[in-house]
Every structure is written in C-alpha cells, then in structure tokens.
Structure 1
Amino acid sequence: MLRRTFVKFAGVVAAALAISTFGVASAQAEWPERPVTVVVPWGAGGGTDAVGRILASLLEKELGQPFNVVNRTGGSGVVGHSSIATAAPDGYTIGVITVEIVMMHWAGLTDLTYKDYSVAAQVNLDPGGLMVAKGSPYNSAAELLEAIKTLPASTFKGSGTGQGGIWHLGYAGWMLSEGVDPNVAPWVPSQGSAPALKDMVAGGVDFVTSSLAEGRALIEAGEVRPLANMGDERLAIFPDVPTLKEATGSDWTVGAWRMVAGPKGMPQEVMDKLIPALKKAYDSPEYKEFMEGRGFGMVWRPSAEAEAFMAKADADFGAVMEKAGLKN
C-alpha cells in the first residue's frame, strides 16, 4: 500500500515537473527570445537605411530584444533581398524590401519575386525626384532636358540606384515620356541614392533621380539643387520644386516604397506579434516625426493589402520596363 502510494505520488510530482518544464520551454520559445537581424539591402545613410533603423529601434523598444540593422549591399539590391528571402523562416531575420523586388527579376538580375517573402506591412511611399549638383549649369528640368536632347550622346551620365532599379526606371520613363531614347545618357549603377548623390557632388555623374527626401541634407546644405519631383503634386518639404508635369509637361510619375518582410513561411505566431508591433511603431509620434522631418511619405498597408499592391506593381513595372528596354 505504501509502495502504491509512493509510486502515485512520484507520478504526480513527475507530471508537475513536466508541466513546469514545458511551461518554461514554451515561454523561452516565444518570439523574440533573442536578437533579431534586420537586413537593409541598400547602403548606410540612404533612405531605406534610415527607415530601417528607426523601425528597428521602435520594434526593439516594443518587443524587448535587440533589432540589429545590417546593410547587405551589392548586385543592385539582389544581395540584400536574397539574404532576407533565403534566411531561416523563424522570425530572427527580417528586412526592409524595396520597390526593386518587383523590378529586378524583369531585368534578369535574379529569380526572386515578391512571392518569396512573408510581408508584414508597407510603411512608406516616396515620389521620385530630379537633382543636379550646385555647380551644374542647369537650373530647371526643362533646361536639362533640352541639353540631353541636343548635345551629343553620352554627354550626360545619371545615377540613383542599380541597373534596372526604381530610379533608373524613373529616368528612363521620363525620357520616354519626352520622346527621347534613355540610352543617350548612360546610367551609372550605384548601391542606393546616398552614394549616387555623393558621386554627383564629386562630379562623377551629372544628375541623380531619387526621392528628394533622400537628397534633403545635401539640398539644405546647398550642395545639391532639386529640379523637379516625379509625383502628382508638389511636396510639403519642397513647395518651390515643381512636378515634372509643371516643369516639362511630362505625365510621367513614379515612386519608391518600402515594406517590412521576412522569408516565406514565417510562423503565424511570429507574424501575429510582428505586425501589431510594427503598426504600433508606425503610429508612434517618434516615427511620424522622423518621417515628416525627412520628407518621407507615410503609407500603411497590412500584409494582405501590401501583397496585392506588390502584385499590381510587379505587372505594371514589367510592362513599362519592356517599353524602356530594361526588361531582360
């Protein structure tokens, strides 16, 4: 009798220990239990880097673990986007995917598409812009356009992103809208707008097409002159800078966007924590002040809406890139 009682008691204790151990393991397994890597596919100092870092700091504050930003550049955005898509889908590698993900595969740079990601949300949208260095003789988009049309081919060089990237398409689409072959001004690939702008200031290229927000520091320092923005209306931070429509009569508009995503197949439990935390970060006064202070556009689209938005953008850009001769 005593033996049976002891065995029964031992079983109860073992069961209790098992439940306790299981509870500890479950708590330990709750995401995030360790630091999270946030991959930025473009160079330090650019717009994507800035957005990635402010979001990482706010997610770290909300979720209680470090969110460490890593810049993985190269291949016109392919390297960084690939490192996000091919990471273990456990929630410990996420990143900022950019508009190039619906363009790179059309250019033949990669087989990656927007379908290779678990998308949490869209957090930004910026119209393109046209800029020259302070020493440029061109004071308007119309003057630069006329020079591109009349001077010998290859007189001008442009930059702003990688070959076949969003700002390359921004330039090419503008030229096509004006009846000009985009190849008259060769494109110099860069790892984002920040290095392209530095190259332009140093005299390496003649103009940069990227968001005016990304050039804001150099514009305010007097090193760069904005000639136009490629949106539908003037920007609040640069109210004196005309749209392309106002400057040259062109109907061409283009913009870049950024989304937070991880590799395809991330656990739903991770997404169920990441998306609300990201929305809280997006709605925070810190994020709003940061974005507005730098002239970055704020747009929120949650997972399903963001994926639908990318699907349409993918089809639209493929058609435009074919016309521009950028589709491979």
Structure 2
Amino acid sequence: MKRTLLAAAAAILAVTGVADAQTYPWKPTKPVTVVVPWGAGGSTDQVVRLLAKEIEGALGQTVVIVNQPGASGSIGTKSVLEGAKDGYTWASGAAKDAGTYAVTGLLNTKLDDWHLFLGVINASVISVNAATPYKTLDDLVKAMKAKPNGVTVATAGINSSGGAALGAFSQAAGVQARQVTYDGGNPAVIAVAGGETEATTQLAVEQAEMLRAKRLRPLAVFSTKALQLEGVGEIPTVSSQLPAFKATDNYFGIFVPKGVPAEVVKTLEMIWADKIANSEALKKYATSRGAIVAPVFGDAAKAAVMPAVQEFAWGMWDRKEGKVNPETVGIPRP
C-alpha cells in the first residue's frame, strides 16, 4: 500500500510539473541564443549566463550564450536587431547602451526597438592599480589636472559603462584622461591590475576579484549610494567627493527585438515575474559581486533606465562626443 501511495504521489507531482511547464504560452522547439556583445567574463557575460540558467530551468530548453564583441557592443547588438524575428535570438547588455547607440552613431536603434528584461543594477567604480600613488579620488583628480591626457584609464569603449562613467566624471571634475579601450570590461580590468594602465572606471562586478586581491585600489563608486562589497568594505560615492557629479542607475539584462511572436514576450514576462524575481542565485551573485537585484520588464523597465540614457546621451552631446543630437532620436534633456 505504501509503495502504491508513493507511486501515486510521484505521478501527481510529475503531472503537476508538466502542467506548470505548459502554463507558458511559448514552448521553444530548439535552443535559444543570447548574443553577449562583449568579451567573456565581463559584467554582461556574468549576469546573462546566470539569467540563462534560470530561463533554461523554466523552459526546459537550452539557452546558448554567444560572445560577439566589437565597436562598444554595437556589432553583436546589430546582428540581433537585423536577424530573424522568430524569437530564438536575443541581445543583452546595459539598457543604457541600447538607448544611446544612435547618439554615438554606432547603431541606428532605440529603446522602443526592444522588449527589455532586466536583472540587476551595476555600478561603475573608479579604481587604480595598487602600485600607483593615488590614495584618494582627490589625488587622482589633481594628477589629471596636472597632466591633461596623461593618466591612462582602461574601459571597454566609449559606449560601455566604463566609458560612460569616465566621460561623466571628466566633465564633472573638469579633467582630461587618456582612455584606453579593450574588447570588454574584463580585459580592461586585467590591464589595470597588470600595470598596463593606471586606472579603470569599469563595473564593480568586473573588478570584484582584483579589488579583493588588493591588485586594485577602489576610490569611489558611480552610484546614488555607497557600495558595500564583500571582502573590500564600503566604497564611497563619487558625488560625496565631487558634488557636480550626478549618479544614475545602470540596468543590465536581456533585450528581445520587437517583432517576435507575442507568445515569446508573454512567456518571458511570466518567467521574470515568477522565477527571476525570486532567484536565489541572482541574489547570491549580487551580494558577492557588488550588484543590486532589480528584476523589471516592460514599460517599468523603460521608465527605470531612461534617467541613465538621458544623462549619458546628453553628456556625450555636451562634451561633443556624440554624433547625433539626442533630441532628434527621442531622448529629452534631463
């Protein structure tokens, strides 16, 4: 009798599991590809691989990550934008990038071209090689003023989070630094840790291990609040030391191009509301890497990212780094 009851219970659970899986309107019949437009190991690569695992578990289908770096993320993003709209190929990155590619002239796209499914807020940190003489942010600012374009700062490109942070910082501080670009945040951070460059403004999640190993010295974080990083301690905000700097939140996640079947979008909305919003793996990642869990999608996602899009777009335009007036592509001045 006991074996019979156990068998019956197992059957009920199996049927329930199938029913749960079938509640999603989209049932992919082949692997889904997510293009990461940056090199392996960077901030986008890290969070997208984590999100992919959660999506795989929900859909029961493989999610393949393809790294396609180049041109500040625009090459990989373009391949998805111009590809088939069958729902099986998605883009990823910082939503700020998708919203400002048109301003940089790298890619003719805007936020309205995408369904945004975001997972975390990442903050850039301005750090220096531990062997440099810069102990504080003020030390670095003084050096940059004394040697215009003399201090080398590694980033993943002008449209990357590090590039955006450096541009905003330089404008607020009234300094000029020499930006050295790499194909991703991870290579940029390694370059600083190895002494190839002096500083970086890449994301905390990309710098975390080098900061914990004391290879890099954090000076300040580009966020609205001080950053508590496990094994490092509190990193003060840039704005607490440089009042002219205005911080905004930088959201990362997956972008599905408009035009895909409606059931694909609906399925991802359900997964985000259920699985991603309650993901323990995402919470653990954020705690250890210095990120903030922020699962959001749809209109709420667009509203959340617009402040960063506006600040970066108009900051570039005012610094004469942008090629297209933000207002002409639907980005109002903040």
Shorter-chain TM-score: which interval? 0.7 to 0.9
Question: CA RMSD, aligned part only?
Answer: 2.1
Partner of 1:13: none
| Alpha-carbon spacing, 1:245–1:316, altered in 2? closer, same or farther (3 Å) | closer
Q: What is the identity, as a one-letter code, of the residue corresponding to 2:137?
A: A
Moved more, 92-101 or 49-58: 92-101
Paired residue for 2:217, among 225, 236, 256?
225
Distance 1:266 1:312 in 2: 27
Distance 1:165 1:105 in 2: 14
Distance 2:50 2:27 in 1: 21
CA contact (8 A) 1:128 1:255 kept: no
Indicate the SS of the match to 1:261.
Answer: strand
Partner of 2:103: 106
Q: How many angstroms does 1:143 deviate by?
A: 0.3
Please state if 1:144 is matched with 2:140: yes
1:204-215 matches, cutoff 5 A: 204-215=196-207
Q: What is the identity, as a one-letter code, of the residue corresponding to 2:224?
A: D
1:52-63 matches, cutoff 5 A: 52-63=48-59
Q: How many angstroms does 1:286 deviate by?
A: 2.0
CA contact (8 A) 1:86 1:263 kept: no
CA contact (8 A) 1:58 1:281 kept: yes
Q: How many angstroms does 1:230 deviate by?
A: 1.4
Offset from partner CA, 1:123-143 (integer Å, 9 cap, x none): 111222101111111111110
Moved more, 302-311 or 83-92: 302-311
| Alpha-carbon spacing, 1:37–1:229, altered in 2? closer, same or farther (3 Å) | same
Indicate the SS of the match to 1:215.
Answer: helix
Partner of 2:268: 274
Paired residue for 1:323, among 307, 318, 324?
318
Moved more, 166-175 or 36-45: 166-175
Paired residue for 1:170, among 165, 171, 184?
165
Distance 1:194 1:113 in 2: 26
Q: How many angstroms does 1:252 deviate by?
A: 3.1
Partner of 2:93: 97
| Alpha-carbon spacing, 1:34–1:252, altered in 2? closer, same or farther (3 Å) | same
Distance 1:284 1:176 in 2: 38
Q: How many angstroms does 1:84 deviate by?
A: 2.1
Indicate the SS of the match to 1:298.
Answer: strand
Partner of 2:20: none
Q: How many angstroms does 1:298 deviate by?
A: 1.3
Partner of 2:192: 200
Partner of 1:117: 114
CA contact (8 A) 1:130 1:207 kept: yes
Q: What is the identity, as a one-letter code, of the residue corresponding to 2:165?
A: G
4+ runs deviating over 6 angstroms? none
Distance 1:314 1:178 in 2: 21
Distance 1:248 1:178 in 2: 7
Q: How many angstroms does 1:213 deviate by?
A: 2.6
Q: What is the identity, as a one-letter code, of the residue corresponding to 1:102?
A: G
| Alpha-carbon spacing, 1:164–1:222, altered in 2? closer, same or farther (3 Å) | same
Q: How many angstroms does 1:312 deviate by?
A: 5.2
1:1-328 matches, cutoff 5 A: 30-98=26-94, 99-119=96-116, 121-151=117-147, 153-180=148-175, 184-237=176-229, 238-279=232-273, 280-311=275-306, 313-328=308-323
Distance 2:307 2:245 in 1: 20
Q: What is the identity, as a one-letter code, of the residue corresponding to 2:50?
A: I
Q: How many angstroms does 1:313 deviate by?
A: 4.2
The share of aligned pairs that are identical, in percent, is 27
Distance 1:240 1:304 in 2: 33
Residue correspondences, number:
296
TM-score when normalising by structure 2:
0.82
Q: Which runs of 5+ in 1 are unaligned?
A: 1-28
Distance 2:262 2:192 in 1: 45
Distance 1:118 1:277 in 2: 14
CA contact (8 A) 1:157 1:187 kept: yes
Distance 1:140 1:226 in 2: 9
